[in-house]
Structure 1
Amino acid sequence: MGRRHNDSESTNCSFFVLLCSALISCALVYTFLSVVLRPSDFYTTSLSHQSSSSSVGEEGRREEGDSYGGEEEQCCRGIENLELWGAAVKWGSEFKFNSSQECCKACKSMCTGNDGPCLCDTWVFCGNKEACGSKFGECWLKKQKDTLNPDRQEAGEKVSWTSGIVFGKGEGIIGLETKHGTLHIKLFPDCAPHSVAYLIELLALRHCAGCEFHRAEGRGESWDSEGNHIEKASFGPPFGLIQGTLEAMGNPFKKIPTEVCPTIRRGSVAWIGSGPEFFISLTNHEEWKNTYTVFGSVLPEDMKIAEKIARLPTKPDVWNNINVSVLEQPVPLLLKRMKTSVETE
């Protein structure tokens, strides 16, 4: 923002000063946008300057099966123009709501994890008055045979339904297998349905040629072992993360829309821009605010694997005037489906 000037007589000198100020301001804005908004790299220095010294503590840690932290209102999303099939547990003709969020919540209420498996793991809502006609407001609650391979009835602009998936406790866990161990990730389909749909597509390929980690930065002296920021320390670099790409060769990537962007916490798995670049955070980054779509979280017991990758040999590089640490040898990834959080390799 430019400095506010006091009123004075118009002179050639003042005009020249104003012109210079405007040019400098434009240059600064351009630099800021090129650093922050470029989706292909991970630049966070400008965000660090917006930070407060407070950090996200253990009270903010989510538990498996719950919505991500305090994002309950945002985390009841589905995919429009998609109709998922499955065995009905609530018939929409007799079960109607005013919004897809209410339909989603009705399904989630049947999937608390306290009384065995989820009775509902799929919801389908018709919310377009003109297209739905007499079906407007219908909320169908369904049960899939396989939530990581949901039964699709149809999709496309002509489809008036919105559908979403709910993963119960111990469900919706995928593995990022590396030679250093497998990172088990709990996916958040209610918060990031488009992101999870993409990962389900990758799982179906049974390979992920080209998927890898290629950047690794430890916590340095700015964060403690639990990921909390140390008072008066810098916010990076290093930023405490491992970064990679989730795009299989030969499989055209379609940009993923921005979804729920909660505060980044230790274990958060998030896209950089619209993907396929992603990162796993080793630290709590309250200073980044609501910047990145979070589509999952590494199970706490596997964070030691992420820390191990972050300690691998790196070489310095500069991305848009930001110092980064690039792995000397990228770490290939293989996506695997996991039935439970305790499955052994």
Structure 2
Amino acid sequence: MVRRPNDPEHSRFASLVLLLVALFSCLLVYAVVSTLLNPTVNPQDSSFESLESVAGIDFGEKKGECCRGIENLELWGAAVKWGSDFKFNSSVECCQACKAMCSGNDGPCLCDTWVFCGNKDACGSRFGECWLKKQKDTLSPDRQEAGQTVSWTSGIVFGKGEGIVEMETEYGTLHIKLFPDCAPYSVTYILELLTLRHCAGCQIYRAESRGQSWDPQGNHIKDASYGPPFALIQGILEAQGTPFKKIPMEACPTIRRGSVAWIGSGPEFFISLANHEEWKNSYTIFGSVLSEDMEIAEKIAQLPTKSDVWNNINVSVLQRPIPLVMRRMKKSLGDVNTNMKSE
């Protein structure tokens, strides 16, 4: 930023000017980050949620952000803890009780579903009931009821080696560990994509390498710029012919290498090739690419591109977009190494 020398006649206004500059700088940073990742954003486009709306809010995991569920939803399944004898004051406590049964290394989770009744008026004597359950198929959970008349809040927990889906490309398959406890609405949408016979329209269309700014582990190199290139691959997950509903902002920890996150409310998404602390807590992270598959993402980032300008920002767009297919994982990978903890 270019600054003008101070004018002696207006020195009495110096403090006010500095304050205004600081406020403007904060807004500018968030606006630039939004622009870097959204090819269609413009000041009149209400479809892209401004990062200003989340400025100053900590979306990290310190406040239990990764023990979330979906309201007005009752998931079914075999009960492993009966809610009539198992009560808590909050859905977070119910979720944590389920997680406590899913922390071992000796096989699948004993609990993968929690259902909590937290509306005092609607629940009556059942207020606080926490039902812990077990699904036959966590990628296709059994629903009992959903809608405004349902007083239950439900969530899913994936154990080690579970909740992994495949993003298939012609250059290899990216295995993505989903985080339903951090982003339940996002994961529900991804699971819906798995039920479709095709994902026409799903593709990766932007690719930018780490350049000279980040090392192979994704760490930023001292004194290097933050782009361009911006160390990411970007695409869209929207099946043609299927209506897309905006996804609410969910847990937004710091973007790490391998993070899979929405841009705004989706369906545009990106996979980060680096640790982006400079982006703060700006994007809903709904999964992470397994570390052993990041070489595929790096390969895509090296494909031929053409330069483009999105709202005065130079970006690199693939000469030929890469079609995507979302699939269930064919077999368990056992204990996996993800790049982000969900608890």
Bin for the TM-score computed over the shorter chain: 0.7 to 0.9
Secondary structure of 1:335's counterpart equals: strand
Equivalent residues in 2 for 1:105-254 (5 A)? 105-254=96-245
Secondary structure of 1:75's counterpart equals: coil
Equivalent residue for 1:60?
Answer: none
Q: Is the 8 A contact 1:41 1:272 kept in 2?
A: no
Matches of 1:115 and 1:26 in 2, distance apart?
Answer: 52
Secondary structure of 2:84's counterpart equals: helix
Per-residue CA deviations over 1:60-108 (Å, capped at 9, x if unaligned) read xxxxxxxx99557210000001000001100000000000000000000
Q: Is the 8 A contact 2:60 2:281 kept in 1?
A: no
Matches of 2:248 and 2:190 in 1, distance apart?
Answer: 14
Per-residue CA deviations over 1:265-284 (Å, capped at 9, x if unaligned) read 11000000000000000001
Matching residue's letter, 1:217: E
Q: Is the 8 A contact 2:160 2:334 kept in 1?
A: no
Alignment of 1:73 with 2:71, yes or no, is no
Matches of 2:307 and 2:214 in 1, distance apart?
Answer: 21
Matches of 1:332 and 1:315 in 2, distance apart?
Answer: 18
Q: Percent identity between the aligned chains? A: 73
Matching residue's letter, 1:262: P
Matches of 1:183 and 1:36 in 2, distance apart?
Answer: 25
Matches of 1:25 and 1:163 in 2, distance apart?
Answer: 42
TM-score scaled by length of structure 2? 0.83
* C-alpha displacement of 1:30: 8.8
Per-residue CA deviations over 1:107-146 (Å, capped at 9, x if unaligned) read 0000113232111000000000001001100000000000
Secondary structure of 2:93's counterpart equals: helix
Alignment of 1:85 with 2:109, yes or no, is no
Equivalent residue for 1:341?
Answer: 333
* C-alpha displacement of 1:188: 0.3
* CA separation of 1:332 and 1:265: change in aligned 2, threshold 3 A: same
Secondary structure of 2:192's counterpart equals: helix
Q: Is the 8 A contact 2:67 2:96 kept in 1?
A: yes
Matches of 1:316 and 1:106 in 2, distance apart?
Answer: 50
Equivalent residues in 2 for 1:295-310 (5 A)? 295-310=286-301
Alignment of 1:311 with 2:309, yes or no, is no
Equivalent residue for 1:57?
Answer: none
Equivalent residue for 2:252?
Answer: 261
Matches of 2:111 and 2:39 in 1, distance apart?
Answer: 39
Matching residue's letter, 1:340: S
Per-residue CA deviations over 1:217-237 (Å, capped at 9, x if unaligned) read 000000011111000000011
Matches of 1:229 and 1:120 in 2, distance apart?
Answer: 39
Matches of 2:125 and 2:65 in 1, distance apart?
Answer: 28
TM-score scaled by length of structure 1? 0.82
Per-residue CA deviations over 1:9-54 (Å, capped at 9, x if unaligned) read xxxxxxxxx9xxx9x99999997776555684399xxx9xxxxxxx
Equivalent residue for 2:283?
Answer: 292
> How many residues of Structure 1 are paired with residues of Structure 2 in the alignment?
306
Q: Is the 8 A contact 2:33 2:279 kept in 1?
A: no
Matches of 1:36 and 1:284 in 2, distance apart?
Answer: 14
Name structure 1 gaps, 5 residues minimum.
9-17, 48-67
Matching residue's letter, 1:341: L
Q: Is the 8 A contact 1:184 1:341 kept in 2?
A: no
Q: Is the 8 A contact 2:60 2:252 kept in 1?
A: no
- Identify the match of residue 272 of structure 1 among 236, 259, 263: 263
Per-residue CA deviations over 1:176-221 (Å, capped at 9, x if unaligned) read 0000000000000000000000001110113111000000000000
